[in-house]
Amino acid sequence: MAVAIRPATGADVAPIDALLRTSFPYPEEADLLRDLCVAGDMVLTLVAHDEDSDALAGAIVFSRMAVTVAGQAVPAVALAPLAVAPAYRRQGVAEALIHAAHDGLESAGVVLSFVLGDPAFYGRFGYDAAVARNFDSPYAGEHFMALPLQGGLVPCGVREAALHAPAFSRLGTQ
Ligand SMILES: CC(C)(COP(=O)(O)OP(=O)(O)OC[C@H]1O[C@@H](n2cnc3c(N)ncnc32)[C@H](O)[C@@H]1OP(=O)(O)O)[C@@H](O)C(=O)NCCC(=O)NCCS
């Protein structure tokens, strides 16, 4: 099996939608991606592509957030959704997607990436609830984590706003 990571193209839209609708027990994650696209809030979408079968193995999406630090707007993103097709799980595909995406976000000058999810899973990639606690968010809690990029240049300790794109409102809060 040869799985390659690359930016998503228009041809990936329908397979990603199908992947999200089968990966989650509810349609909100697929609907979130559609709404983010319509609103123009997408920042980065990568896919894991099986070069042998031409199948979609996984996808990861990052969207724009409105985040201020010391009164200044800083480039920040939210990771969601992330999914790997069942046949490709537990082989490091999600890990490869996350690492490749972080490299791309670093290059693009993004300074913070936020995620709502399992601390045991995302913690291994550097996401930390202690960093997210510096920001006011309706998702605040142990599942709301942030990863400082750019070598952790962003000063923390001052409680400021971290607002997700409007499309997230359909997901509710935890
Ligand atoms: C969560 C999800 C994205 C993980 O995808 P994945 O490609 O299986 O993730 P990885 O392979 O990188 O890591 C998952 C596990 O496989 C293990 N693993 C990685 N490579 C492995 C390998 N070659 N052999 C065996 N296990 C391996 C990892 O250590 C990890 O183990 P752990 O979680 O038990 O500690 C996938 O299960 C999924 O799409 N779930 C449904 C949607 C979902 O829940 N998305 C996340 C929402 S926050």
Q: What mean pLDDT comes out for the span 52-77?
A: 94
Tokens 């985040």 appear where? 67
* CB-ligand 1 contact for 27 (6 Å cutoff): no
- Taking CB atoms within 8 Å and a gap of at least 24, the contacts of 138-143 are 138/173, 139/164, 139/173, 139/174, 141/174, 143/116, 143/117, 143/118, 143/119, 143/174
Judged against a pLDDT cut of 70, whether residue 156 lies above it is answered with no
Task: Tell me the CA–centroid distance for residue 104 and ligand 1, in Å.
Answer: 21
Q: What mean pLDDT comes out for the span 3-22?
A: 97
* CB-ligand 1 contact for 91 (6 Å cutoff): yes
Residue 174 pLDDT level (bands cut at 50, 70, 90) = very low
Task: Tell me the CA–centroid distance for residue 94 and ligand 1, in Å.
Answer: 6
Q: To the nearest whole number, what is the mean pLDDT of the chain?
A: 93
Judged against a pLDDT cut of 80, whether residue 157 lies above it is answered with no
Judged against a pLDDT cut of 90, whether residue 70 lies above it is answered with no
Residue 69 pLDDT level (bands cut at 50, 70, 90) = confident
- For residue 3, the model assigns a pLDDT of 97
* CB-ligand 1 contact for 113 (6 Å cutoff): no
User: Atom 23 of ligand 1 has which residue's CA nearest to it?
Assistant: 91
* CB-ligand 1 contact for 95 (6 Å cutoff): yes
